[in-house]
Amino acid sequence: MGLSRRTFSALAGTTALGLALTGSGSLATNARTSRSVPTGPPPSPPTADGRRHSVGFDRYSLIVDGRRLVLWSGEMHPFRLPSPSLWRDVLQKMRAHGHNAVSVYVAWNYHSPAPGAYDFTGVRDLGLFLRTAAETGLYVILRPGPYINAEVDAGGFPGWLTATEGRARTADPTYLKHVDEWLTQVNAIAARHQFTKGTGTVLLYQIENEYDPSGGGAGLGATARDYMSHLYKKVRADGIDVPLFHNDKGRNGRWLPGSFDTGGEKGRWLYGFDGYPDPARTPPDWGHFGVGGRTGGATASPRTPGFLPEFGGGWFDGWGGATFQGKGYAEARRTRDAAYERRFHLTNLANGITLNNVYMTFGGTSWGWLPAPAVYTSYDYGAAFDEGRKAASAKLAPMHQIGHLLQRVPDFAKLDRAAAVRARDDRLKVYHLTNPDTGFHVYVVRNDTDEDISSTMPDAGFAVPFTVPARDALLLTADLALGRRKLKYATVPPMFCVTAGRQDIALFAGRYGDMAQIALESEQDVEATRLDPEGAWIYDRGLLRVTAPLGVGGLTRVRVEAAGSERPLLLLFADDATSLRLWPFDTPSGTVLVYGPPLVREVTVRGDTVHLTGDTYGATGLEVWAPRGVGRVTWNRRPVRTRISVTGSLLAEPLLPGVEPVTLPALDSGWRRRTEDPESEPDFDDSAWTVADKKTSFSITPVPEGQPVLFADDYGFHYGDVWYRGHVTEAAGAESVALSYSTGTQGLLMAWLDGTPLGTHRMPVPDKDTVGKGSWADTATFDLPRVLPQGAGDAHVLSVLVRPMQHDQDGGADDAHKVARGLTAVTFKGADTGAWSQPEVRWRLQGAAEPDPVRGPLNNGGLFGEREGWHLPGFADGEWRTVDLPHADRGQGVTWYRKTFRLAVDAGTDASIGLVLDDDPARAYRVQIFLNGWNMGQYINDVGPQHTFVLPNGILRTRGTNTLALAILSDGTTPSGPRDVRLTLLGVAAGGVPVTPVDSPGR
């Protein structure tokens, strides 16, 4: 919804409204001074400027070019958004909403289809991502593993590594040989984009991730230390000179500075730890106010700044949705809402955490066979930006406010724990900190009860009341410089103070309807002007006291001036929703502040014109405070007629236009349908398939005595479905067969004998106790349709299709990623003796064909249709049967549906579109979704919880023809769909970024 013209009416009111406010009292100060870098202006926004830069740290914060920096980073994974144009969209949104850094994993499996083969092109162009981050003005925290976890297949290890000798995540020489090869590749790119060299904005670099080889114990053995030392030295040898760190799995004090050999280098290693606290519990103290010592979080490393490389901005969900009671990521977002963000992030800030990374800020999509067994396709995560790239506004507001505050109030970079302060209502917990250089005081007041609490803090000078909502927190500040004036106290948090043109502008933001009360130290001849009717002020005993009800009437403005002063202070008051319409941007010409649009992407000043790009939904107003000499405005490359308001801003006279309606086509008719499964027929030619003739394996799954290795990975089939064909002779009257197999969560097996279905077996839907289980093993026993003939030379074909559902992660550093996938053993039971026996069986198997050279190794599995290109655009399906939806079949096996559709979204409109699949949950089938040949995920109708699949622009042609292919795998016990298949609009805006079509080769 846009903002109306009324919101932007600059009302010139000068009537003072008398307010009954008490005095401020005295504020406690901390006289202790620091000999380290003093508090001062933060570094300029980062760019690839060609100049050398220094990056260091002390116990308070990072120090960049001699200036203190508080890092407010958000996690996103370019491999979870397979459209490079949209990387800029997400990065711009993060930057605009207060983040000054982005943290990214680099997944080894995403870039390496085979030993010695690496691909950093197309959707895997890491260099392009790093350039885009620099162009956006974001620092980069780079995390290339080699192990990343991240809820991706094998924790990021490539599939081929599962079939190699040598234990992973140790100093084993075979493993290290592969690791060095990977790091050589990724570091060659990273080194070219380091901030220290002026050629990029890579600021920090992580080695390994959550490495605990002790299995949760306290000890770290020599092999583990040797491994970490090897990684450290390798990274340095490759030219990485920014500070390095590791992400401790919890607060265990592992991998502190000095815990392993760094080749004599000192002072370049940061201790970091992660935390995913339960939102239903009291926020923990991981620093100044905590238990202290090695397990205290930041206190484990007192000479380095508090660093959270991962703090829970949500949580992942698994098949069946047990984590969130089947409600999916909407429940993750509800339980980790705006109040959660304030309670937990402000508690971290109070505890001295100045390096913050929110995991995830944009979760994205685990497309293809990327997801680990613990998750389904969507990796929305309940993040501040949802999977469709839309801002989850209520949750985003505190992130937006805190981010801009930490960037623009440098006092937060250097805080010490100060004298204890109590609120008059002792149900409120108060954290008190102060800056030793400036005398600035900050109070984090937290309410852990289930009711709103109003109170005062007279000992701290807050004799005026403030309210902390239930299970929420409030940031109060005192003795803060606001331009040339000093804030004595404020009952709502500041969001920023900037200088734009000839005035300082300070914004205070909080909950709608709360009464903001601030006091400024002022001379006797101060003059305040009420520019909106909601604001009020009174001068009393050297203090100018201003009040405003937040959000009532939109943005409230009060101008403060003093005789002889050339630079007035403009006070702005906003509620959470209004604060999300305020955008400060630094340019070489000075700071620009924009109010109105729901997103401002870029701000550039050239001559007398400020050029703005951004998004609108409905028609909205625009107000711009710009540097001196600027009198013109463009919006998305079109001039905007403006006038000068009483606040000195450029006020747009016409409203900015909103978005035009987007119409999506129906998908219920015109489908082409064809069944497959020729592999189940006895006369199918499998002579070109791989012979299962190995006797030993590097898997940690034992090979059954007397049987060949049947594990798919040992034969090079690492992703997607795998077919087995056993040619059985000397069956000795067998009447049943036992098929043992191993998969990830929700794996399944289907079997046929001589073309006759034997049945389907599937792993159970996980519950809360097993949702994190990464490997499942079971035995499916099927009665044979007849007792097999006992004559010598009689042959039968046993066909088996296994959907492995990906490899376990290796979080325990125990080679869990090497647990077998596919068949593990096959045994027959004789009719006469009742004993299990092993006839002569010659096995062949077939998985995915050669990796797609554009879409990569994780795109395709081993279904017949995939091997034949049925999922690709341009495939000749003219002889396939035409059907309309809903359409139901009953039968074991795979059926394909194909359809083309056209979209005609207006240029300049960013339409995020999803595909919805819906059916009676009693029907047992699953669907692989291919859009223009790209595998966009898996739907399991009777398990869920996911029904909507994001189709990213670039892969989706929003102005052109698209090919949709559905590979439906049915167990034959129920009718199988598809019933309801439709497109849905996930979000739409006028604006967006230019999108280059992603290469989608067809047949």
Residue positions annotated with a catalytic role: 210, 310
What residues contact residue 780 under an 8 Å CB cut-off, 6+ apart?
Answer: 738, 739, 740, 741, 749, 751, 759, 761
CA distance 621 to 595: 8
What residues contact residue 599 under an 8 Å CB cut-off, 6+ apart?
Answer: 93, 96, 391, 614, 615, 989, 991
CA distance 909 to 664: 14
- How many CB atoms sit inside 10 A of residue 347's CB? 23
Q: What is the DSSP letter of 851?
A: P
Distances (CA, A) of 957 to 83, 901, 932: 12, 10, 9
Peptide bond into 113 cis (omega under 30): no
Q: Are 969 and 841 in contact (CB under 8 A)?
A: no
Q: Which of 946, 807, 860 is nearest to 378 (CA)?
A: 946
> What is the three-class DSSP state of 512?
coil
CA distance 392 to 598: 12
Q: What is the DSSP letter of 122?
A: G
CA distance 663 to 986: 13
User: At CA 369, angle to CA 366 and CA 371, rounded to 5?
Assistant: 45
> What is the three-class DSSP state of 235?
helix
Q: At what angle do helices 222-237 and 173-191 cross, to 10 degrees?
A: 30
Cα 123–chain centre separation? 17
| Residue in the block written with tokens 């009711």 | 451
- How many CB atoms sit inside 10 A of residue 756's CB? 14
CA distance 858 to 119: 13
Provide the Cα torsion 90, 96, 98, 101; round to 10°: 50
- φ, ψ for residue 617 (rounded to 5)? -105, -70
Q: Are 439 and 29 in contact (CB under 8 A)?
A: yes
CA distance 717 to 709: 13
CA distance 219 to 224: 10
Q: Are 121 and 864 in contact (CB under 8 A)?
A: no
Q: Which of 463, 469, 477, 434 is nearest to 450 (CA)?
A: 469
Strand partners for 474:
445
Edge-to-edge order in the sheet of strand 980-990: 948-951, 909-918, 980-990
Residue/partner pairs of 157-160 with CB below 8 Å, 24 or more apart? 157/108, 157/109, 157/807, 157/810, 157/817, 158/108, 158/109, 158/112, 158/113, 158/718, 159/109, 159/713, 159/718, 159/719, 159/807, 159/857, 160/112, 160/113, 160/114, 160/115, 160/716, 160/718
What residues contact residue 20 under an 8 Å CB cut-off, 6+ apart?
Answer: none
Strand partners for 574:
509
What residues contact residue 432 under an 8 Å CB cut-off, 6+ apart?
Answer: 28, 417, 418, 419, 420, 421, 441, 442, 443, 460
* Dihedral sign (CA 678, 680, 686, 690): positive
| Residue in the block written with tokens 């009324």 | 6
CA distance 13 to 15: 6
